């Protein structure tokens, strides 16, 4: 697989779904109104905080000379589109479903107290085997990775034309990229997935920068929470 010389991944800013999910985990299910439940997660928008986070991402990328890319791509979900055009105003983006967020099927718009009760949800398996856990009507992480591989294979067809690529996408999609690009094992992924360390959290407007492409593999990765770098900023890390 011929990868771009440099690849930058940016997670979207805080969305309506993020707010609802976080509150529900804390016991407040009031965001899950009939209207919210009936809306597809495709169309969740950024909150005012999410828009501000995208502005911080824009400023961080400017300070670090990450503004000029051969190809700019965003997921076709509303929150990624909005983030892309705030973080990189005036830039032409291509939209694709290949980097759309993982589908949780029928669990997507259920509050946390109902997710555990839904037949077949089997959320305990999610912690034990996060790659194979299959939400009812949704995708396993293996299936998300298959989409990401298709995206990377498409890029490889134009590797001479698109040497630097920026992708605005989603948290679990970025974990799929990490698994592939950092040559993780299922055991390594499980440890990171269940970790609460800041280095293993994909924050809103989190950015991953891959470079030093050698024979189809990246040797270096930079990870940062762009809207609040003091929360996490790795510096350049070597990829084995």
- Sorted by sequence, the CB contacts under 8 Å of residue 239 that are 6+ apart come out as 181, 182, 183, 210, 217, 218, 219, 220, 221
68: in domain: yes
Per-residue pLDDT of 148-199, as tens digits, reads 999 999 998 777 788 999 999 999 999 999 999 999 999 999 999 999 999 9
Mean pLDDT of 23-35: 96
Cα distances (Å, whole numbers) of residue 135 to 72, 138, 141, 171 = 31, 5, 10, 17
22: in domain: no
142: in domain: yes
CATH value at residue 182: 3.40.50.1240
3/158 Cα distance (integer angstroms): 9
32: in domain: no
Total-model pTM: 0.96
Q: What is the pLDDT of residue 1?
A: 77
Q: How many domains does the chain have?
A: 1
113: in domain: no
164: in domain: yes
What average pLDDT is seen over the chain?
96
Q: Provide the residue range defining the domain that includes 183.
A: 6-14+46-107+130-238
Tokens, residue 186: 């299922």
53: in domain: yes
35: in domain: no
């Amino acid at each position: 697989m011929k990868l771009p010389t440099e690849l930058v991944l940016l997670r979207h800013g805080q969305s309506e779904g993020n707010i609802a999910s976080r509150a529900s985990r804390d016991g407040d299910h009031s965001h899950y109104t009939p209207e919210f439940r009936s809306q597809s997660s495709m169309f969740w928008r950024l909150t005012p905080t999410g828009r501000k986070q995208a502005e911080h991402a824009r400023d961080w990328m400017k300070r670090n000379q990450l503004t000029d890319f051969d190809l700019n791509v965003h997921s076709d979900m509303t929150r990624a589109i909005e983030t892309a055009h705030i973080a990189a105003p005036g830039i032409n983006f291509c939209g694709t479903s290949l980097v759309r967020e993982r589908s949780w099927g029928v669990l997507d718009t259920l509050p946390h107290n109902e997710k555990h009760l839904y037949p077949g949800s089997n959320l305990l398996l999610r912690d034990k085997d996060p790659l194979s856990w299959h939400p009812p009507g949704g995708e396993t992480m293996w299936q998300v990775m298959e989409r990401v591989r298709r995206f990377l294979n498409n890029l490889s067809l134009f590797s001479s034309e698109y040497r630097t690529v920026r992708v605005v996408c989603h948290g679990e999609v970025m974990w799929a990229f990490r698994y592939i690009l950092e040559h993780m094992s299922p055991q390594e992924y499980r440890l990171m997935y269940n970790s609460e360390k800041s280095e293993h959290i994909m924050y809103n407007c989190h950015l991953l920068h891959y470079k030093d492409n050698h024979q189809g593999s990246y040797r270096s990765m930079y990870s940062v929470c762009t809207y609040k770098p003091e929360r996490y900023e790795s510096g350049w890390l070597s990829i084995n």
